Amino acid sequence: MPSYSQHPIMPSASASTSSSPLSRLRNITDHMASPVASTSFPAEAVPQAPEDALFGLMRAYRADESKDKVDLGIGAYRDDNAKPWVLPVVKKADEILRNDPDLNHEYLPIAGLNSLTSKASELILGASSPALAEKRTTSVQTISGTGAVHLAGLFLARFYKVDGANRTVYLSNPTWANHNQIFTNVGLPIATYPYFDKATRGLDFAGMKAALAAAPDRSIILLHACAHNPTGVDPTPDQWREIADLMRAKRHFPFFDCAYQGFASGDLDRDASAIRLFVDRGFELVVAQSFAKNFGLYGERAGCLHFVSSPSAGAAEVTARVASQLAILQRSEISNPPLYGARIASAVLNDEALFAEWRDNLRTMSGRIIDMRRALRSRLEALGTPGQWNHITDQIGMFSFTGLSEAQVARLREEFHVYMTKNGRISMAGLNTRNVEYFAKAVDKVVREVQ
């Protein structure tokens, strides 16, 4: 704190009497310059918030000096050396961009880079989707998947008000933790539907259907398009059809969150099939699309929000109105989206050769994760670790819900320097040929010794 008692332009106190005009002036300026004694943000108004669990875990992992430490927390791809992987196709696109003499850093339009959003909608809906041909889709580039979920949430909070519509958002239990915060922030009430069956470590399909049937008509239902986070459990194609039937009967509004297209199965079309089924069935819906995982563009924050309206004579007009309001919301929140990641993704999506190479890169990532699932399961089974381990290979995508208890997770961290979320979720991408054996042995020991 600077001291204000020795005012540089004022004579010192000894040079004037306490009642002199100079002294009084000095008292006033001292008073005006002194630090404010109280805050407008006392702890009752702004309590200390807990650190984000996942980012806290990352920090603890970094601080751990053990050479054996294993990071199974964060949902980011790692190669077999446990290092972040810049996709070779991304490196190429980056090179092309940097050598472009016309490149500049101007603002994007409010809705983002058109060459990205148009290809991104084809990627998710299928290039031959009737929704595209009939111009009943509108797309906005967002701050990755999080920004897309937020923008759609904000839009629904403002405009999902038709008679009888229930503004509650139903989230799977469990779900990506940020869903709760995002929808609460925009003022939408949240509720949950059962999803994970602890006994089978698979889908609680009966529970999910019962909850969707019991929810008030026209509720907003958040669905993970593929590679459910955190469980790695997805409905089968037949189950998706049943879910669509039920949602149609209840007139629920589908809100798809798609953070892992192509990353889950290695097949972009297969990972988008649930969304395409709902579009084919004529639902009006939104899709939040992230390019963080499938392009490895985590920190570049590239993503899109797509709105699809139902087929009808007025569909194009509905879509245009929605687009106009999304633009206003976007303008007030971020003005316009960031360039770099969007340019990279757009370069790949708009070039046949780069696109083919991207598919290869996706297969590399998903293939390595599938290999690690097999390796972990076979090692646990070879060790005779108590319990069933088939769910490790039945589950899909980045994460596996291991079924380990909180106490077991804590012991893995204390004794083996293994970092994972308290709910027993592991990021499969953190396993590699060097540490999978170590991890399996650690799990074996902990499962035998801790409940």
Ligand X SMILES: Cc1ncc(COP(=O)(O)O)c(C=O)c1O
Catalytic residue positions, numbered: 176, 257, 293
Residues ≥6 apart with Cβ < 8 Å to 338 = 108, 143, 300, 301, 302
Which segment (79-87, 141-149, 231-239, 319-327) binds ligand X by CB under 6 A? Answer: 141-149
- From the list 290, 330, 432, 435, which residue makes contact with ligand X (rule: CB under 6 A)? 290
Contact status: 257 vs ligand X (CB under 6 A): yes
User: Nearest approach, Cβ of 278 to ligand X (angstroms)?
Assistant: 17
Write out the binding residues for ligand X, residues 16-45 only, by CB under 6 A. Answer: none
Q: Which of 77, 176, 195, 240 binds ligand X (CB under 6 A)?
A: 176
- Sheet with 253-258, strands from edge to edge, namely 137-143, 302-308, 285-290, 253-258, 220-224, 169-173, 190-194
Binding to ligand X (CB under 6 A): which residues in 68-87? 75
Closest to 325 in 3D by CA, of 111, 7, 118: 111
Among 138, 139, 141, 146, binds ligand X (CB under 6 A): 146
- Of 78, 224, 306, 413, the one binding ligand X by CB under 6 A: 224
Evaluate whether 149 touches 179 at the Cβ level (below 8 Å): yes
Using the minimum distance from each CB to ligand X, give the nearer residue, 176 or 439: 176
Q: How far is the CB of 308 from ligand X (least distance, A)?
A: 19
Residue number, 303 or 430, with CB nearest to ligand X: 303
- Give the span between the Cα atoms of 329 and 335, in whole angstroms: 9
Range in contact with ligand X (rule: CB under 6 A) among 101-109, 143-151, 192-200, 270-278 = 143-151
Shortest spacing between CB 437 and ligand X, in angstroms: 28
Give the other-Cβ count within 10 Å of 436's Cβ. Answer: 21
Per DSSP, the three-state class of 304 is strand
| Cβ-based nearer residue to ligand X, 298 or 358 | 298
Smallest distance, ligand X to C-beta of residue 272, A: 15
First to last CA, the chain: 53
Q: Would you call 264 helix, strand, or coil by DSSP?
A: coil
**Look-up of token digits 């809100």:** 255
Stretch that binds ligand X, among 17-25, 40-48, 109-117, 142-150 (CB under 6 A): 142-150
In angstroms, give the least distance from the CB of 260 to ligand X. 7
Give alpha helix (H) positions in 226-333.
237-250, 268-271, 273-280, 292-295, 315-333
**Position 303 contacts ligand X (CB under 6 A):** yes
Of the residues 259, 274, 404, 409, which one makes contact with ligand X according to CB under 6 A? 259
145 in contact with ligand X (CB under 6 A):
yes
Name the residue nearer to ligand X (CB basis): 298 or 419.
298
Nearer to ligand X, 224 or 306 (CB): 224
Query: Which region, judged by CB under 6 A, interacts with ligand X, from 87-95, 138-146, 198-206, 440-448?
Result: 138-146
Question: Is the CB of 51 or the CB of 95 nearer to ligand X?
Answer: 51
153 binds ligand X (CB under 6 A): no
Q: Report the candidate in 413, 342, 373 with the shortest Cα–Cα distance to residue 227.
A: 373
From candidates 151, 292, 322, 362, binder to ligand X by CB under 6 A:
292
Options 137, 144, 265, 366; binder of ligand X; rule CB under 6 A = 144
**Burial of 98 by CB count in 10 Å (0-12 exposed, 13-18 middle, 19+ buried)?**
exposed
Q: Give the amino acid at 329.
A: L
d(CA 325, CA 329): 6
- For the bound state, the minimum distance from the C-beta of residue 323 to ligand X, rounded and expressed in Å, comes to 22
User: Interacting stretch for ligand X, rule CB under 6 A, among 28-36, 38-46, 140-148, 319-327?
Assistant: 140-148
What does DSSP say about strands 253-258 and 220-224: parallel, antiparallel, or unpaired? parallel
> Binding to ligand X by residue 112, rule CB under 6 A?
no
Q: What are phi and psi of 303, to 5 degrees?
A: -170, 175
SS3 for 400? strand
Q: Enter the DSSP assignment of 49.
A: P
DSSP letter for each residue of 132-187:
HHTT-EEEEEEEHHHHHHHHHHHHHHHH--STT---PEEEEES--THHHHHHHHTT
Q: How far is the CB of 203 from ligand X (least distance, A)?
A: 16
- Smaller CB separation from ligand X, 75 or 266: 75
Binding mask 363-402 vs ligand X (x if CB under 6 A, - otherwise)? ----------------------------------------
How far is the CA of 8 from the CAs of 14, 18, 21, 35, 358, in angstroms? 14, 18, 17, 18, 65
Please report, as a single letter, which amino acid is at residue 250: K
Q: How far is the CB of 289 from ligand X (least distance, A)?
A: 9
Closest approach of ligand X to the CB of residue 188, in Å: 16
Q: Which residues bind ligand X (CB under 6 A)?
A: 75, 144-146, 176, 224, 229, 257, 259, 290, 292, 298, 303
